[in-house]
Chain A
Amino acid sequence: MFRFIVRRLLQMVLAFFGTTLIVYALMFAGQGDPIQALAGERPVTAAQRAYLTEKYHLDATGVGGFFYRYFDYISNLLRGDLGESLTGRSIGDILAAAWPVTIKLALIAIAVAVVFGVTAGVLAGIRRASIFDNATLLLTLLVLGIPTIVLAPLAQYFLGVKWQLFPPTAGADPDFFALLLPGIVLGSLSLATALRLTRTSVAENLRADYVRTARSKGLPNRRVVSVHVLRNSLIPVITFLGVEVGNLMSGAIITEGVFNIPGVGFNLFRGIRTEDGPLVVGIVSVLVVVYLVSNLVVDILYAVLDPRIRYE
């Protein structure tokens, strides 16, 4: 296990440099004059141009200049300095403000998926081909079929604006209640997948030979299902949820956009729209780390849950 983790950490270093390099290249490759882009419509004086050229090492040109700037950026990054956005704000501060909001939103979404998705999935798996099973199948297909870009405005319009059950937008520094509706919308997709996955897994495990063995020991049905079947059925579900937590932590561009939530996805989208290279690369670099770490955690969790899997 220890060797597995070390190997994975080394792979993570490679993946980190690879992804940041690609994002850095893509973000700055498309630009014409970065200084003019920074200034927008306003004229740039020669003194300003000289200052910015030196600050961003724009005097070095070509591939060599690109790598010079990339390594300059990475070395700052490794010291914990994410740099400044083109608007002059510290990217570290932007993330520090945005992340708690995104994490709150992600936790609500995951809680929705776990509480409703897994529970309903277990019930549907036990009562295969029942009315409940078929109803959940229909509902999950519906949810999986509607993209968030449709679902989120619909939920906002009906539940937020028309019936006024929830605040329609979150705004700056949102509280738990303001994040509830976006959280449910965001979680509904994970909910549907978790439900299908749990249902299939439970139904499959109920037919397994070891269930027959457990019954032949004279254990009550309650125990057979809640201990033997569930312990096996939840292995793929927990793996899925682990990956999903990683995804949700990196922000939800559409949901945060629709509900006006100042989270990571919201800021990332703003960075892309305003061609704010440093902001985009800064956020993505951190997202890469979040992804890599959450995947590692899922892999380790998987080995803990299923003794047949040992990474050696």
Chain B
Amino acid sequence: MSQNAVRPTPASPTPPGGHLLEVRDLHVEFRTGEGVAKVINGVSYHLDPGETLAVLGESGSGKSVTAQAIVGILDTPPAHVSSGEIRYQGQDLLRLPEAQRRQIRGREIAMIFQDALSALNPVFPVGWQIGETLRQRLGMSRADARRRSVELMDLVQIPAAAKRLGDYPHQFSGGMRQRVMIAMALAMEPKVLIADEPTTALDVTVQAQIMDLLADLRRDLDMAMILITHDLGVVADVADRIAVMYAGRIVEHADVRSLYRAPAHPYTKGLLESIPRLDQRGGKLSTIRGLPPNLMRIPSGCPFHPRCPYVQQVCVDVVPHDLVLGDGRTSACHFAQEVRDDRAG
């Protein structure tokens, strides 16, 4: 295994009070019967109050695992956080005892999941599930929790909320179910909302509605949001910054505008080029060749090198550090500047 792990490089100077949430050089392994899978290999990112960070990557790139590590809901075993820090308001969550960490869950950092049908408990009415947080965590009475649940369901624009309180998750449409999920996450007015592929399981038209709702809620409730997705199209309108993940690392980190205009990592470039575009009709859709690496045997040097069109010998031998490109941009590529300036693609 490579000894020279990616050095954490803050993408922007730390504000005086520190970031709201900061992940520093996080390493997570999955210890299974077949061996150790290195799922997260030195991820660092941060989130400031009121901003939206999009975390982008293919399945298995480690974006959800990082989020689950932040919330503290990784299944351990097999998952194991081997090193790193997760600082929330300056406090390292990984060093907190479980009882204190639990207090932060839902109240400070809440999470919504991809498939609301399986993420909601099938045998309890949705009103009960939203109210459970209020009753258990805030000690609300049954009647108060019920009233507040209706308010929350109104907030996420579920029609006839009061009537639907007693309905079960399977009685809702996909979009409405995701709204229930969001209402549940908002129950304790968290400061950070982590949305893990919130629209992946939904129809395209409903996807847009849910994204708009999330963006509106983030603004109205003054939350910070981490939006995890594999869909570049989803993030453009909503996110302030984008962190692109590959094989458990952040390979590129930039504000949305610069990243779309001039990606500085071949992987990001490949992702952008594989989006179908109206102005290139008839042409062959470009793809990134090859498959994401097996996390039990991550390639030497730059993990992307077997799939990279820019590959050189140095990529096979040396793990690239984050190259600072200015404007808070970083790229973990030996040829970041060349890639950024190579407009021809």
Contact = CB atoms under 8 A, between A and B. Distances in A.
**Chains A and B come from one and the same complex:** yes
Contacts of B105: 215-218
Contacts of B125: 307
Contact of A216 (B111, B136, B170): B111
A213 B170 contact: no
Interface in A271-290: none
A219 B132 contact: yes
Contacts of B104: 218
Contacts of A51: none
A223 interface: yes
Interface string A274-312: 000000000000000000000000000000011110000
Given A219-B132, A231-B124, A308-B170, A210 B118 contact: yes
Nearest to B170: A308
B168 A307 contact: yes
A209 interface: yes
Contacts of B36: none
A232 interface: yes
Interface in B97-138: 102-107, 110-111, 113, 115, 118-125, 132-133, 136-137
B86 interface: no
Interface residues of B, number: 33
Contacts of A235: 123
A147 to B, nearest CB: 36
B5 interface: no
Contacts of A215: 73, 105
Interface string A212-232: 111111111001000010011
Contacts of B136: 217, 219, 223
Nearest to A211: B121
B53 interface: no
B315 interface: no
Interface string A134-150: 00000000000000000
Contact of A307 (B75, B102, B123, B132): B123
A208 interface: yes
A209 B137 contact: no
A114 B102 CA distance: 33
Contacts of B111: 216
B242 interface: no
A212 B110 CA distance: 12
A307 B184 CA distance: 20
A206 to B, nearest CB: 9
B192 interface: no
Nearest to B168: A307
Interface string A57-74: 000000000000000000
B9 to A, nearest CB: 30
Given A209-B115, A212-B113, A223-B136, A217 B106 contact: yes
A210 B102 CA distance: 17
Given A217-B133, A218-B102, A218-B104, A209 B118 contact: yes
Given A217-B137, A218-B107, A305 B121 contact: no
Contact of B120 (A210, A220, A305): A210
Contacts of A232: 121-123
Given A307-B168, A308-B170, A218 B106 contact: yes
Nearest to B187: A217
Contact of B119 (A212, A218, A307, A308): A212
Q: Which of A210, A216, A305 has the most CB of B within 10 A?
A: A216
B53 to A, nearest CB: 18
Interface in B122-164: 122-125, 132-133, 136-137
Given A209-B113, A307-B168, A216 B120 contact: no
Contact of A308 (B103, B132, B137, B168): B168
B21 to A, nearest CB: 15
Given A218-B102, A218-B137, A219-B136, A213 B119 contact: yes
A1 to B, nearest CB: 15
Contacts of B119: 209-210, 212-213
A207 B123 CA distance: 16
Nearest to A308: B170
B120 A213 contact: yes
B271 interface: no
Q: Which of A209, A223, A305 has the most CB of B within 10 A?
A: A209
Contacts of A219: 102, 132-133, 136-137
Interface string A234-248: 010000000000000
A266 B173 CA distance: 56
A96 to B, nearest CB: 41
Contacts of B73: 212, 215-216
Contacts of B68: 212
A299 to B, nearest CB: 17
A208 B113 CA distance: 12
B65 interface: no
Contacts of A305: 123
A81 B132 CA distance: 55
Given A210-B120, A212-B119, A307-B170, A220 B102 contact: yes
Q: Which of A212, A231, A232 has the most CB of B within 10 A?
A: A212
Contacts of B106: 216-218
Interface of B: 68, 71, 73, 75, 102-107, 110-111, 113, 115, 118-125, 132-133, 136-137, 168, 170, 181, 184-185, 187-188
5 contacts: A213-B119, A215-B73, A216-B185, A231-B123, A232-B123
The 7 closest A-B pairs by CB, nearest first: A218-B105, A218-B106, A209-B118, A210-B121, A307-B168, A215-B73, A216-B111
Given A207-B75, A213-B121, A218-B133, 16 more contacts: A209-B119, A213-B119, A213-B120, A213-B181, A215-B105, A216-B105, A216-B106, A216-B110, A217-B106, A217-B132, A217-B184, A218-B107, A219-B102, A223-B136, A305-B123, A307-B170
